[in-house]
């Protein structure tokens, strides 16, 4: 549970963060215009403290991982239930039990900050899915889809290799591949996201015997403790052994058929499903495997997140899904401020921002592009 540490609303004069709050870092005595502006879904937006009854709001909290989180937003005051504002939150780089001082040189740095993934206390895994065993034409396009246990679409990707960040659980994952000959094929698997990639794992290798319809299926990279049993299921047949041969024309198999490999022992079971084409030139088959599952860093010190609250109160947030490769958060300048009227120190941070903001189920998103900001962030002096 987050501990509310400081809540500070900075009153502003026209075009100024605060009349008695002057930047020290650049030696100027002129009022500073706090603002954030950019394009949201292609529409221009601009928020400026001192204009249209907008004020510079700051917030400082100590989260569950004992990291200070410092936030800034330009919005009306009061703002209970209000919308149409962007909020930026930066996590400190150093753990702190709340009794220690915050070093602004640690929290605020001229650099590119990584984006946070998931909320406080979230158990998340980053899972990478990779197309496997392609022995025909290479795909020209892939469409990956991840469905929840309730069959709701929760994530998609059009990359040739897909990476998703998901909570722990079981998911149905679908890959639709298109090929240069106009052929399309779909592979669907149920995958468990629990971070346990070993010690139990196995792969399948499919080999074609040249100038024949004979195919060989082998186990590959088997990591299952002995004693173990290996079974194959092909077109209604169940076979045993680490390697099997199949003359495809001898069975009533469709042009594309599935081969299921199961390796099990007393302690674990591994199942691999592979779609195979009799003739990979005339028919296409696509399959995939889980290439990697890794823990999302629960601390994520020095990370940033961005939140947009629209006019209906719907929240879009950067940490709710994986950021695209064009996203970035760059701090370009930092000016030191004296203590404000409430007695808390703050800094004036300038920078640029591009980010994708998602709804909680990741089915909707908005792209924040070409944004730049100059905003006050508090710290514990």
How high is the pLDDT of residue 23?
35
Instruction: Show the domain range for 64.
Output: 3-119+299-379
Of 295, 327, 352, the one marking the end of a domain is 295
Confidence of residue 248 (pLDDT cuts 50, 70, 90): confident
Longest dimension (CA), the chain: 88
- Cα angle 102, 106, 107 (rounded to 5 degrees) comes to 75
3-class DSSP string for 66-99: CEEEEEEEEECCCCCCCCCEEEEEEEEEEECCCC
Within 10 angstroms of residue 344's Cβ, the number of other Cβ atoms is 17
* Average pLDDT over every residue of 304-308: 97
Of 257, 274, 295, the one marking the end of a domain is 295
Whether this prediction's pTM lies above 0.85 is answered by no
Choice among 16-30, 52-66, 163-177 with the minimum mean pLDDT: 16-30
Tell whether 251 and 273 lie within a shared domain: yes
How high is the pLDDT of residue 64?
86
Tell whether 308 and 287 lie within a shared domain: no
Torsion from C-alpha of 311, 356, 176, 200, nearest 10 degrees: -120
Tell whether 164 and 208 lie within a shared domain: yes
Residue 104 DSSP symbol: H
Tell whether 277 and 202 lie within a shared domain: yes
Helix/strand number for the chain, H first, E second:
1, 25
| Rounded-to-integer distance, Cα 172 and Cα 152, Å | 10
| Rounded-to-integer distance, Cα 244 and Cα 213, Å | 14
Choice among 19-23, 49-53, 200-204 with the minimum mean pLDDT: 19-23
Tell whether 10 and 91 lie within a shared domain: yes
Confidence of residue 180 (pLDDT cuts 50, 70, 90): confident
Tell whether 105 and 136 lie within a shared domain: no
Query: Is residue 124 predicted with pLDDT exceeding 90?
Result: no
Query: Is residue 26 predicted with pLDDT exceeding 60?
Result: no
* Average pLDDT over every residue of 135-139: 80
Choice among 45-59, 99-113, 128-142, 345-359 with the minimum mean pLDDT: 128-142
Adjacent-strand bridge partners of 143: 176
Report cis status (omega within 30 of 0) of the bond before 59. Answer: no
Q: How many domains does the chain have?
A: 2
DSSP reduced 3-state for 357: strand
How do residues 217-227 score in pLDDT, each as one tens digit?
999 989 898 88
Confidence of residue 31 (pLDDT cuts 50, 70, 90): low
Tell whether 156 and 106 lie within a shared domain: no
Of 272, 295, 318, the one marking the end of a domain is 295
């Amino acid at each position: 549970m987050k501990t509310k540490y400081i809540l500070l609303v900075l009153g502003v004069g026209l075009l100024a963060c605060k009349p008695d709050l002057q930047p020290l870092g650049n030696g100027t005595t002129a009022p500073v215009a706090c603002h954030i502006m950019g394009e949201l879904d292609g529409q221009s937006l601009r928020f400026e403290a001192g204009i249209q009854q907008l004020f510079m709001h700051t917030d400082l909290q100590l989260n569950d991982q004992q990291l200070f989180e410092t936030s800034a937003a330009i919005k009306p005051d009061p703002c209970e239930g209000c919308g149409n504002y962007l909020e930026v939150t930066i996590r400190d780089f150093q753990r702190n039990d709340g009794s220690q001082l915050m070093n602004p040189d640690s929290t605020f740095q001229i650099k590119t900050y990584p984006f946070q993934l998931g909320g406080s206390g979230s158990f998340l895994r980053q899972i990478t899915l990779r197309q496997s065993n392609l022995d025909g034409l290479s795909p020209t396009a892939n469409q990956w889809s991840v469905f929840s246990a309730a069959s709701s679409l929760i994530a998609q990707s059009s990359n040739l290799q897909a990476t998703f960040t998901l909570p722990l659980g079981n998911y149905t994952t679908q890959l639709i591949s298109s090929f240069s000959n106009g052929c399309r094929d779909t592979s669907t698997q149920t995958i468990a996201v629990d971070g346990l990639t070993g010690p139990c794992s196995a792969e399948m290798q499919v080999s074609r015997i040249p100038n024949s319809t004979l195919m060989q299926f082998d186990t590959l990279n088997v990591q299952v403790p002995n004693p173990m049993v290996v079974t194959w299921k092909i077109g209604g047949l169940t076979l045993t052994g680490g390697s099997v041969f199949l003359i495809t024309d001898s069975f009533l198999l469709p042009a594309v058929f599935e081969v299921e490999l199961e390796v099990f022992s007393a302690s674990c079971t591994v199942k691999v499903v592979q779609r195979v084409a009799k003739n990979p030139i005339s028919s296409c088959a696509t399959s995939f495997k889980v290439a990697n599952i890794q823990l999302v860093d629960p601390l994520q010190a020095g990370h940033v997140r961005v939140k947009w609250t629209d006019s209906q109160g719907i929240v879009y947030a950067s940490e709710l899904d994986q950021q695209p490769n064009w996203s970035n958060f760059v701090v370009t300048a930092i000016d030191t401020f004296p203590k404000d009227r409430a007695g808390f120190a703050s800094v004036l941070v300038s920078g640029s921002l591009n980010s994708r903001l998602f709804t909680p189920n990741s089915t909707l998103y908005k792209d924040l592009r070409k944004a730049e900001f100059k905003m006050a962030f508090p710290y514990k002096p």
